Each structure stands twice: as structure tokens, then as C-alpha cells.
Amino acid sequence: MIILTRLAGSRFAVNPDLLERVESTPDTVLTLLDGTKYVVSEPLDEVVRRVADYRATVIATARRLAEGESGPVALPAAQEPWPADVTPELAPAVPLRRRRRS
């Protein structure tokens, strides 16, 4: 999950695997696969960077687990996909189902 900020200032987490697109209109609008939209205060480039950093962390963690190592992967603070005051926790994977097209 990546942590983002709504325009009103509240923070929330979004699963970047469910992002369909991110637009800058000039506000940054996230559109999820189910059509849900969120407007956030972070610029488009920052959202893209956080998604890329999140995915890099997932790949690095998977590699460490495959090699038999344990413990979280630590990235430099500038590359963290979440704010410094948030401690991420791994959650079980949720299987995705195809949408039925009519």
C-alpha cells in the first residue's frame, strides 16, 4: 500500500495494484480498476514514484524470501513509498477476479 493525502488533508492508503490510471487535471486524480476515483494533493510524478518504489520493495522482499533470508527490506528514506512516520505491514495477497463484460 502507498500512503497519499486527500485535498482536505486526511491520509489514506491505496493498493497500487488496483490503480488503472493517474491523471493531472490539474489536481491529481487516481482511478481504480472498479472506477472509484480519488483526488490527492501529491503531484502525478510523486504518485508514480511511490508506486515504483512500492513495487521495487515487493520484488526485493520476494527475492530475499526466496533466498531464505528473513526480515523487511530497508530502502533509503528518499525511496520509501510511504511517509517516514508510517510503518508498513505485509498483508496476505488478495486474489483478483476478472470483471464480466456485458
Tens-place pLDDT, residues 32-86: 999 999 999 999 999 999 999 999 888 888 888 777 766 655 655 555 556 666 6
Is 100 a domain residue?
no
Is 80 a domain residue?
no
Is 17 a domain residue?
yes
pLDDT computed for residue 80 by the predictor: 57
CATH code for the domain of 13: 2.40.50
State how far the Cα of 56 lies from the Cα of 94, in Å rounded to an integer.
Answer: 19
Is 40 a domain residue?
yes
Query: Structural domain tally of the chain?
Result: 1
Query: Which helix H or strand E contains 60, and what residues bound it?
Result: helix 44-66
What integer is the mean pLDDT of 5-32? Answer: 94
The angle at the Cα of 53, spanning 50 to 55, to the nearest 5 degrees, equals 110
Is 78 a domain residue?
no
Position 2 pLDDT exceeds 90: yes
Is 53 a domain residue?
yes
Supply the range of the domain harboring residue 56: 2-70
Is 47 a domain residue?
yes
Is 83 a domain residue?
no
Position 29 pLDDT exceeds 80: yes
Position 22 pLDDT exceeds 70: yes
pLDDT-derived band at 4, boundaries 50, 70, 90: very high
